[in-house]
Chain A
Amino acid sequence: MSCHGPGEGDVATLGRTTEVALLGSPNTGKSSLFNRLTGLSAATGNYPGVTVTRSRGTARTSSGSVTVTDLPGTYSLEPASPDEDVVLDHLTGRQESETAPDALLVVMDSTTLYRSLALCAEALALGRPTAVVLTMVDELRARGGDLDVTGLSRALGVPVVETVAHRGRGLEDVRELLGEVASWPVALIAPPHDDAAQLSGWIRSVLDSARYRSPRSSVATSRIDAVLLHPVWGALVFLAVMFCFFQVIFTVAAPIQDAIQAVFDHWGEVAANTLGSGFLADFVGTALIGGVGGVLVFLPQILLLYLMISVLESVGYMSRAAFLMDRIMARSGLDGRAFVAMLSSTACAVPGIMATRTMPSSRDRIATIMSAPLMTCSARLPVYLLLISLLVPAEARLGPFSMQGAALFGMYLLGGLASLVVARVFKATLLRHGALPFYLEMPPYRLPTPRGILRAVWTPVWMFLRKVGTIILVVTAVLWVLINFPAREAETAHMDEAQAQSYVMENSFAGAAGKAVEPVFEPLGFDWRVDIGLIASFAAREVFVSTMGQVAAAEDPEDPGAALQQLTYTHGPHQGEPVFTPPTIVALMIFFAFAMQCVSTLATMRRETNSWKWPAIAVAYMFVLAYGAAWIGHEITAAVTR
């Protein structure tokens, strides 16, 4: 028989587990299904283009385990953007490190079956063993649609199961199906996927056989969109929601932060009492509690930030924000698609840059990659929070609002505006042309599941904790050594403790380094201790906070909180005057807003643009921008506050 040639269509089970690829249009629930099947935590969200890389996991079935690969969503197997390349690369096993999948599990959104079937036709034509999972059947039925799985299965010639992927309904059927992967059929006759008229005839015929009744459009969604997509109201609502969010950061997170701080303070006392006053006590008191602890206290704010991002993503707001911003983005020469990448960068620039893979135009893509690192990422948050608390008193009000919250909102706005301007400059110079029509699907609003939100918050929070426990801890410890050595016991013998600490720090290795670069940053008002923090923050921005914590704890072990405020210049024309004046703080914040201080971002840029040229340009322009804007900010603030 023609269709059962050796090897063809047979699932190889010898020596390795069967490889099954999840293939489907964007936002159909592939990653939700993947997470349920494998117990892993791939990112999900209610907008197209959440997944841009592949991830592999193992699904247990009744008859052994199967390796499942989650892929980016794709509208067709003729890739139009780098994320769709990933799909084709995987299906064809083009990358050397990959083997082509043995079988395809096509995931189709049952509420948009017509479109899903076009991709399904292409998948069937590949001639691999195939099965189909239908998702969103809950929405289909709730909105008055219906379909008959048996009829669909018969028309497609492959097994079909229904699921509600994100809640795990129908999951047992999928497992059972995966267990039988060796007997999945290969489509004997490829659907006419390359002839538009015949393809639509095929799709209509299949839908008819499945007695498909398409769902009504969601009433709730169109009502909400009438407001949220309104050019004026929509933008106002967006800004208002953001503004309120930053208020919440201060009103809700600050008390929790104080509680954590109190715990650390208590530990500090316990440590001081039990360890006495040797090097170990100093290490625990300044490096661990003052330094690392100083970063850790911002956990509540980080958690809130990710909570907000994940709610926005899973409700379905990302596509709306992109649509709203499309007009504003047009001024920068980019489109709404780029805004999704920029909004993702408020978590971290790395996923933000990765998200540009969904952009079809490579010039737009590079312009977005170059500007996304200016968006305020979560690593900048602790730095801003520390500096804002030094600049703005907690009681300061702006009408009914907290002034600190307004200042933080301003920093995010600054980052956003800067990245738009930079994108505009790149589009007008190095990356001209390349405009393609903007197309982004608008999914219906969906209620997030608690489980999904928890996972979306826990993953980055855990990464933050890990970062604190690894790189931040290590760098802080190294800095402690550099700040406390050479020990200078002879010179400090006759001094009291605080004096001795200051003397040691000033003459330490770190002190020497800080003083070496001091002239460079003098115009911005930074002294050598700030410069130590600045240099160290190139390892991770949060290290600036832990370094300042160490400096403060060393200066005044009794009350490190007030120590920073009272820090004075040790020499030079301003000797004796406080360091953390408004001009210096403003300059510092602007510097952190614009400087490229993240190695992972550079590595990601290098990988995504496939050259060192773009990361090099980014480092250069961002440093110039950071220094220049910080100086201007310093001068203006000085003029205003004098």
Chain B
Amino acid sequence: MTTPVVSLHPEVQADPDVVRWVLTGRTDSFTEVARSPGAALAALVRDGVLVGLAGGVGWIETTLAPGGSWRDAAATVRRAVTDHVAGTAPRELTEDDLRDLAETVLERDVAPLAGAHGGRIRIVRVAGHTVSVALDGACHGCPAARSTLQDRFQTTLRRHDPRAMVVETAGSAATAATADGVGAGAVSWLPFPRLRGRAGSRR
């Protein structure tokens, strides 16, 4: 059997039992993975190697059973994830997917930049392909920072959804789709995303 070529790499999460397989080659959502995993992934769950599966736009997370070791399991899990991805036809992003994606991108790529400028950026609303954001702190009123952030946000989103738009609104926090706008924080060399709880609880 030849392994299909899928571009992916693992990223360890705050909880070392959880590994996020980042699928940079795919721009669609894998939220379905928990409900209908590929045969190999399903077998790993059945055999008790893995105890959790979760997915999002361009990633799949696998949770190792307590007492297990990635050293032993990683190769098999990698192959199973690869098989699952290769066996799933790409589909259009839904609004939910885009919201998911926008949150991830905001936290991973945009917020650290905003933090470096001493500002905050948060998502107010997601509608269709449009993500509305609000800028606070030092960024607010600084045109340079504003366009940089918006640009960065939009370019990153467009890698997954070519039609994505990021617009700035003066909208109030009341309508925010997410309560936890991520703000100024030190950019650390190992920025483990704190997304696990959210990603796992959705479904």
Which residues on A are within 8 Å of B, measured CB to CB?
Answer: 1-3, 148, 150-151, 153-155, 157-161, 185, 188-192, 195, 197-198, 200-202, 204-206, 208-209
Cα of A209 to Cα of B78 in the assembled complex, Å? 18
Pick the contact of B189: A159, A188, A190 (CB < 8 A).
A159
Cα of A610 to Cα of B78 in the assembled complex, Å? 46
User: Per-residue 0/1 for B1-38: is the Cβ within 8 Å of any A Cβ (1 yes, 0 no)?
Assistant: 01101111111100010010011110000000000000
Assess the A155–B9 pair: CB atoms within 8 A: yes
Pick the contact of A209: B22, B82, B187 (CB < 8 A).
B22
Which residues on B are within 8 Å of A, measured CB to CB?
Answer: 2-3, 5-12, 16, 19, 22-25, 67-71, 74-75, 78, 82, 108-109, 112, 187, 189-193
Assess the B25–A205 pair: CB atoms within 8 A: yes
Closest 5 CB pairs of A and B: A208-B24, A2-B69, A159-B189, A205-B9, A205-B7
Known: A160-B189, A185-B190, A209-B22. Is A1-B16 also a contact (CB below 8 A)?
Answer: yes
Cα of A191 to Cα of B71 in the assembled complex, Å? 11
Interface of B is mostly: loop
A202 partner residues in chain B, CB cutoff 8 A: 7-9
Assess the A2–B70 pair: CB atoms within 8 A: yes
Known: A153-B189, A189-B70, A198-B78. Is A206-B9 also a contact (CB below 8 A)?
Answer: yes
B193 partner residues in chain A, CB cutoff 8 A: 154
Cα of A332 to Cα of B196 in the assembled complex, Å? 64
A201 partner residues in chain B, CB cutoff 8 A: 5-8, 25, 82
Assess the A192–B78 pair: CB atoms within 8 A: yes
Pick the contact of A197: B3, B10, B71, B187 (CB < 8 A).
B3
15 contacts between A and B (CB under 8 A): A1-B16, A2-B69, A3-B16, A154-B11, A155-B11, A157-B10, A157-B11, A157-B12, A188-B16, A189-B70, A192-B75, A198-B78, A201-B6, A201-B7, A201-B25
In the complex, which residue of chain A has the Cβ closest to the Cβ of B68? A2
B11 partner residues in chain A, CB cutoff 8 A: 154-155, 157
Cα of A529 to Cα of B145 in the assembled complex, Å? 83
Assess the A204–B7 pair: CB atoms within 8 A: yes
Pick the contact of B190: A151, A159, A192, A200 (CB < 8 A).
A159
Q: What's the least CB distance linking A544 to chain B, in Å? A: 59
In the complex, which residue of chain A has the Cβ closest to the Cβ of B19? A189
Assess the B5–A197 pair: CB atoms within 8 A: yes
Q: What's the least CB distance linking B49 to chain A, in Å? A: 13
Cα of A200 to Cα of B6 in the assembled complex, Å? 9
Cα of A191 to Cα of B11 in the assembled complex, Å? 11
B192 partner residues in chain A, CB cutoff 8 A: 154
A-B contact sample (10 more), CB < 8 A, given A188-B12, A188-B70: A2-B71, A153-B190, A157-B12, A190-B74, A197-B3, A201-B7, A202-B8, A205-B23, A205-B25, A209-B9
Q: What's the least CB distance linking A151 to chain B, in Å? A: 7
In the complex, which residue of chain A has the Cβ closest to the Cβ of B193? A154
Q: What's the least CB distance linking B153 to chain A, in Å? A: 13
In the complex, which residue of chain B has the Cβ closest to the Cβ of A202? B9
Assess the A200–B5 pair: CB atoms within 8 A: yes
In the complex, which residue of chain B has the Cβ closest to the Cβ of A2? B69
Cα of A198 to Cα of B6 in the assembled complex, Å? 7
Cα of A188 to Cα of B190 in the assembled complex, Å? 14
Assess the A189–B12 pair: CB atoms within 8 A: yes
Cα of A507 to Cα of B93 in the assembled complex, Å? 102
Assess the A154–B7 pair: CB atoms within 8 A: no
Cα of A505 to Cα of B138 in the assembled complex, Å? 90
A198 partner residues in chain B, CB cutoff 8 A: 3, 5, 78, 82
Known: A205-B22, A205-B23. Is A191-B70 also a contact (CB below 8 A)?
Answer: no
Assess the B10–A189 pair: CB atoms within 8 A: yes
Known: A205-B9, A205-B23. Is A195-B191 also a contact (CB below 8 A)?
Answer: no
Cα of A200 to Cα of B4 in the assembled complex, Å? 12
B71 partner residues in chain A, CB cutoff 8 A: 2-3, 190
B68 partner residues in chain A, CB cutoff 8 A: 2
B2 partner residues in chain A, CB cutoff 8 A: 197
A195 partner residues in chain B, CB cutoff 8 A: 3
Q: What's the least CB distance linking B70 to chain A, in Å? A: 5
Assess the B24–A209 pair: CB atoms within 8 A: yes
A159 partner residues in chain B, CB cutoff 8 A: 189-190
Q: What's the least CB distance linking A182 to chain B, in Å? A: 15
Cα of A190 to Cα of B22 in the assembled complex, Å? 15
Assess the B8–A205 pair: CB atoms within 8 A: yes
Assess the B69–A191 pair: CB atoms within 8 A: no
In the complex, which residue of chain B has the Cβ closest to the Cβ of A183? B190
Cα of A188 to Cα of B71 in the assembled complex, Å? 7
Cα of A257 to Cα of B112 in the assembled complex, Å? 62
Assess the A189–B74 pair: CB atoms within 8 A: yes
Pick the most buried of A2, A155, A158, A160: most chain B CB atoms within 10 A of its CB.
Answer: A2
B67 partner residues in chain A, CB cutoff 8 A: 2
In the complex, which residue of chain B has the Cβ closest to the Cβ of A198? B3
Cα of A190 to Cα of B7 in the assembled complex, Å? 15
B23 partner residues in chain A, CB cutoff 8 A: 205
Cα of A190 to Cα of B189 in the assembled complex, Å? 20
Cα of A157 to Cα of B13 in the assembled complex, Å? 10
Assess the A155–B19 pair: CB atoms within 8 A: no
A204 partner residues in chain B, CB cutoff 8 A: 7, 24-25
Assess the A154–B5 pair: CB atoms within 8 A: no
Assess the B109–A151 pair: CB atoms within 8 A: yes
Known: A1-B16, A188-B12, A188-B16. Is A154-B69 also a contact (CB below 8 A)?
Answer: no
In the complex, which residue of chain B has the Cβ closest to the Cβ of A161? B189
